[in-house]
Amino acid sequence: MARIAIVGGGIVGCAAASWLMAEGHAVTVYERDPAGRPASTGNAGLIALPEISPLARPGVITQTPRWLLDPVGPLAVRVRDLPALTPWLLRFIASARPDRVEKAAAALAWLMSTALRDHQELARRSGMSGHMRRTGALYITASEAGYRAAKAEWDERRRHGVPAEELDAAAARRLVPALTGKFLRAFHAPESWTVTSPLAILEALRRWIGASDALVKQEVIALRPDDREVSIITAEGADLPFDRVVIAGGVWSRTLVRGLGLRVLLETERGYNTTYPSAPIDLPMPVFFSDHGFIASPLAVGLRVGGAVEMAAPEAPPNFARAAAMRTVMRRYVPDLPETGGVEWMGCRPSTPDSMPVIGADPRDPRIVFAFGHGHLGLTLSAATARHVASLIAGRPDPKLAAFGIGRFQKGRTAL
């Protein structure tokens, strides 16, 4: 049994804590803001098994200049944050080379291959049940350019064993009758799963952890490894020793990593959504609006419309015009979407330029384990990450996990 500190009480940190506690370790989770709503709680509620395509890809790069000029487009950068974001954006562009896209997709497909089984095992370990169901998902395209881009992604996914069926608009409407607006074609992904509520899952994990008094409200500001142990230093001045430390603090992980003398490219990919508690629309499955970069998803708490990417500092004020823009676009396809009655939200997704999370040990001190940077796949990959964290703690990592190591960001190393 090891004494393990986990820095970060979001979905990844709590999944790792639950997995490790079930294996008999003494775990303490340190969360800077337990009352807050981390990024995973506002996502679309998908166990998004088909989503192995990295954001950086040749088609996206050609559209990026046009998107960047649109403050409410699918990809936006706040001008005042551009200098700080430039290293990330340059690596993003480099990651869009076809060979790097293929390597990233293959690595993500491998990580995703056990995601569903890992969620089922995490549920067993933490006592959850009835929170996931297989719904499938529909990806609609409204333009020829959108269709070509989507088809390229689905061809890539099929090469990695992700099933999908291409549909015409009439067949897509038979699956989702609410889509009365005009669009061209669609792709149906039968292996997508939906959870009842992302927030409810996080709360259930926190209750299970908190039952052992293992969830502590403290901000960790530094790590201090020595020959015997690794100590965490908190903002309150505490100096607490542990055998192992897992850094799973979202975008704030970068401060701790840099304090260890390591380089990481990790920025905030901010997402927006609107949740309608009682929308008069029946969506039997999530619907992706591929041309526009957002999704509508049915959850226990209502219909959620959200997505897109805004690169900005975590502390920058939200621009809820982005949420309004998604609602406006959705009404082209679902005219019955109400104009009022929704609750807006913004969250900070920790993202790497190559869309691959950082999962692995500190190359100079294997007692420190990294688990952050999951972007929009935090919920989807949380349980798989937890299992791999446990294997790292035990000193038995899967060799294929090396692709997700922090070494790819160190000077002299190229992406992938």
Residue 37 has pLDDT above 80, yes or no: no
**Last residue of one domain, picked from the residues 351, 382, 401:** 351
**Last residue of one domain, picked from the residues 333, 351, 369:** 351
Examine the domain organization and report whether 73 and 151 are in the same domain: yes
- Write the pLDDT tens digit of every residue in 339-381: 889 999 998 899 999 999 999 999 999 999 999 999 999 999 9
**Last residue of one domain, picked from the residues 351, 367, 382:** 351
Residue 413 has pLDDT above 50, yes or no: no
Examine the domain organization and report whether 223 and 322 are in the same domain: no
Q: How many domains does the chain have?
A: 2
- pLDDT, the chain, mean: 91
Residue 72 has pLDDT above 70, yes or no: no
Residue 160 has pLDDT above 80, yes or no: yes
Examine the domain organization and report whether 272 and 327 are in the same domain: yes
Q: Is 132 left (phi over 0), alpha (psi -120 to 50) or beta?
A: beta
Examine the domain organization and report whether 232 and 218 are in the same domain: yes
- Write the pLDDT tens digit of every residue in 376-408: 999 999 999 999 999 999 999 999 999 999 999
- Does 123 reside within a domain? no
- Does 65 reside within a domain? yes
- Does 165 reside within a domain? yes
Residue type, 155: D
- Does 153 reside within a domain? yes
Neighbours of 81 (CB within 10 A): 16
- Does 389 reside within a domain? yes
Examine the domain organization and report whether 74 and 220 are in the same domain: no
pTM of the model: 0.93
Examine the domain organization and report whether 273 and 250 are in the same domain: no
- Write the pLDDT tens digit of every residue in 249-276: 999 999 999 999 999 999 998 889 999 9
Q: In this structure, are residues 327 and 176 in contact, taking their beta carbons and an 8 Å threshold?
A: no
Q: In this structure, are residues 391 and 361 in contact, taking their beta carbons and an 8 Å threshold?
A: no
Strand 230-234 relative to strand 239-242, pairing: antiparallel
- Please give the residue range of the domain that contains residue 8: 3-40+200-265+355-409
**Token pair 């929009």: residue:** 376
Residue 416 has pLDDT above 60, yes or no: no
- Does 329 reside within a domain? yes
- Does 13 reside within a domain? yes
Residue 29 has pLDDT above 70, yes or no: yes
